[in-house]
Every structure is written in C-alpha cells, then in structure tokens.
Amino acid sequence: MSLKITKQRTINAEFNVEEEGATILVKQTFISVDSNAVSTVQENLLNAELYAKHRQEMRTDERALRDLRYKVEDEILADTTQA
C-alpha cells in the first residue's frame, strides 16, 4: 500500500456588475493550478452584452486575476525547488 498526495490550488472568480440596483454575474473563471505549477483555465461568459458595456472594468479585473494566477504558480514553483 502507498499513499500519493497531490497538491493543487484552485481559484474561482466571479465578475459582477451593478445594473439598476441589482448585482448581475457576467463572467466566471475557474483556474486549477497543479503541483507542477501548470494552470488549467475555464471561462464562462454569461452575459456578453454587459461584458461589452463594461469591457474596460472587466479587463482590469481580468489582469488582476491573471497576476494572481501567476503569483500562485510562482509560489508552487518556489515550494517545488526548495523541497
């Protein structure tokens, strides 16, 4: 018998906008980072019209999410090289 442990990190992001007093989910992104610091990204665009209307804000948030993803990847790589 043997035990195999795999470390993996997950980031779930929701991109919301406020329209007429309601919070509306525009886009979801799911990022899974494996033990080799390789990411798998799944994006679901739920409201293309609102995405287009708020494109600049969405892109700002997408860049922040990408930076977070890279930070997590780098942390995993640092852990791997120290082990």
Its pTM stands at 0.85
Is the pLDDT reported for residue 83 higher than 70?
Answer: no
Answer with the residue of higher pLDDT: 9 or 6: 9
Q: Which residues pair with 41 in a beta bridge?
A: 31
* Residue 25 structural domain: 9-82
CB 27 within 8 A of CB 49: no
Nearest to 33, CA basis, from 1, 64, 79, 2: 79
Domain count, the chain: 1
% of the chain exceeding 90 in pLDDT? 80
Q: Report whether pLDDT(81) > 80.
A: no
Q: Is residue 1 part of a domain?
A: no
Determine, yes or no, domain membership for 50: yes
For 26-39, the pLDDT digits (tens) are 999 999 999 899 99
pLDDT band at 7 (very low <50, low <70, confident <90, very high): confident
